[in-house]
Every structure is written in C-alpha cells, then in structure tokens.
Amino acid sequence: MIEAQALTKRYGDFTAVRELSFSVGPGEVLGLVGPNGAGKTTTLRCLAGVIPSSGGSVRIAGCDLGADPVGAKRKLAFFPDEPRLFDYLTVRQHLAFVARIYGISNHEAVAQPLLEELEIADKANKLPNELSRGMKQKLVIACGLLHGPQVMFFDEPLTGLDPLGIRRMKDSIIRRAKEGAAIVLSSHLLHLLEEVCSHVLILKKGEKIADGTLAEVAAQFSSGEPDVSLEDIFIRATGGSES
C-alpha cells in the first residue's frame, strides 16, 4: 500500500531525509519515531504529497505519487499535527466542502456516523473558534476519513486530546487498520505507539536506524534482554541524544 524507495528531501545543503526506503502493507500500522528534528514530519509530508521530495519514489496503493499525484491523493489522508481549519466554515460546512473536493455524492450519510463516532455530532453547526483543540482535531480526522482512504498519515495525532480522546483515537486507528488501511503515524508517546503499531521505523538525522516489526526492532537493540520497551529501544537506537 505504501512503498517508499530511496526517499530523499534536501533543503539546500541540508538533507532532512536521506535515502529512506520502507513499505507498509494493508492492515499494518507503522510508527515513525525519532528525536526532535529527525525528519519525521518532513517524511510524512513527502509521503502525503504535501511537499515534493528531492529524490526517490513513493507509491500509494499502487499509484506513483510523482507521476500521478491526483490519483495517489484520492487514496490517502494526511492528518497534520496542528488542526488547520477554515475559520468561517462550520463543522458541517467543512465536511460538505471536502465532500465536493473528493466527489462524494452521499456525504451526509457518510459524515453523520463519523461525527457520531468522533463525538462532535452536536457541534455540527459550530465554527472552529467555538471548538476546543481536541474537537478541532476530531473535525480534521472526520474530514480526512470522509472519502474512506486506504492510506493514512498521522502526524502526532494524539496531541491535544484528553485521555478518553486518546483511547478513542487509538481504537479508531486500530480499527481502520483491521479494515485494511495502511497507516503511518509519528508520535513521541512511545508507550502508546507500542499499543497501536505493528511496525516501527526509527529515524535519526533523516536516516533510518531501524525498521521492522516491534519484535524485530526489539531483538536488534535488546542485546538478548527480554521485555524491552519501545522507550528503551528508542534510547538505545538514538544514543539518547538529538545529535
């Protein structure tokens, strides 16, 4: 579903992401972890076609993102860390707008269960300035899920959510994966990623340090110790520093 080959992103002389290759299959959830400035957000933005990559290729559900960006984007959803909304559109109007963009004719029928699942159905006629950050986040998620994407990219999806919201978000991600979606998510909340992710990719300075299932990556850094947590793996893999 997601295939990245030698994905590279450069800003002048600075290389934010270097020759990154990995794949995520249907039903898999890949946790993208790394210290601050490791290139997680840049990677996600390149994968979602938000910014152009400087090299390499990305295929989304069989569509080459570089050759057919429109086709690839029909199959993906990107959820940025900061909920960016249109100030003057209500919750319902946001969904109507997105429905037209994606050509969803029966969007009311799709939107209502989504709003109820995300518990913002009673806010349908509210403007973004009347919503809490968590609710804004939920609206962004509702907009992203409206067209039933096969591939999803979450950038720090749990930021701003209360404990119940975090639990529901985790359940939602796991459910979408079980339904066959390929999901990549980045977060610093490692214990939560442990619960949600089937695979993990550790980045440092834009380079892949480790990639595989949780068990595979644990085996790589555990030195034979049993029950090593993702946090321990992360610290060992990155050397405990940003640089």
Partner 1 sequence: MLRALVYLRLKSFLNRLTAGAARLRQPKYFVGALVGAAYIYYFMVRPMNASWRPMPPNGMQQPYYGRSTYLQFQAFGQVSTSVGGAVVLFLFLLRQALSWISPPAQPGLRFSEAEIAFLFPAPLTRRSLIHFNLVSSQLRILLSSIILAVVFNRWRVGAAGAIGRAFGWWVIFSTISLHSTAFGLVVAKALARSASPGRVRAIGLSAVGVLAAAAVFSIAGHAHPPGGGANIGPADLPKYMDRLVDVGFLHWLLVPFRWVVAPFLAPNLRTFALALGPALLIPAGLYAWIVRMEVPFEEGSIALSEKWAQIRAAGKEGQIYRAAKADRPVRRDPFRLSGRGRPEAAFFWKNLLAIQSWFNPRLAIVFLGTVAVIVASTNFGGTKGIGEGYAPIVLACASIAGGYTLFLGPQLLRQDLRADLPNADILKTYPLAGWQIVLGEILTPAAILSGLLWLAILAGTWALGRLGSDQTTLEPVGRIVCAAFLALLVPPLCALQLLIPNGAAILFPGWFQSMRTRGGGIEMIGQRLIFVFGQLIAVLIALLPAALLAVGVFIASRFWLGLFAKDHVATIAALFPAAATVFAILAGELWCGLWWLGGRFERLDLSREIRG
Q: Check residue 67 for interaction with partner 1 (CB under 8 A).
A: no
The least CB distance from residue 66 to partner 1, in Å, is 11
Q: Check residue 208 for interaction with partner 1 (CB under 8 A).
A: no
Q: Check residue 128 for interaction with partner 1 (CB under 8 A).
A: no
Integer Cα distance of 107 and 85 in angstroms: 19
Binding span for partner 1 by CB under 8 A among 88-96, 176-184, 211-219, 231-239:
88-96
Integer Cα distance of 66 and 181 in angstroms: 21
* 91 backbone dihedrals φ, ψ, rounded to 5°: -55, -50
Nearer to partner 1, 143 or 202 (CB): 143
Integer Cα distance of 141 and 220 in angstroms: 34
The least CB distance from residue 103 to partner 1, in Å, is 6
The least CB distance from residue 65 to partner 1, in Å, is 11
The least CB distance from residue 15 to partner 1, in Å, is 13
CB 194 within 8 A of CB 230: yes
Beta-sheet pairing, 29-33 with 182-186: parallel
Q: Check residue 129 for interaction with partner 1 (CB under 8 A).
A: yes
Sole binder of partner 1 in the list 36, 106, 241, 243 (CB under 8 A): 106
Which amino acid is present at 164? L
The least CB distance from residue 142 to partner 1, in Å, is 14
Give the angle subtended at the CA of 241 by the CAs of 238 and 243, to the nearest 5°: 90
Q: Check residue 84 for interaction with partner 1 (CB under 8 A).
A: yes
**DSSP conformational letter for 132:** -
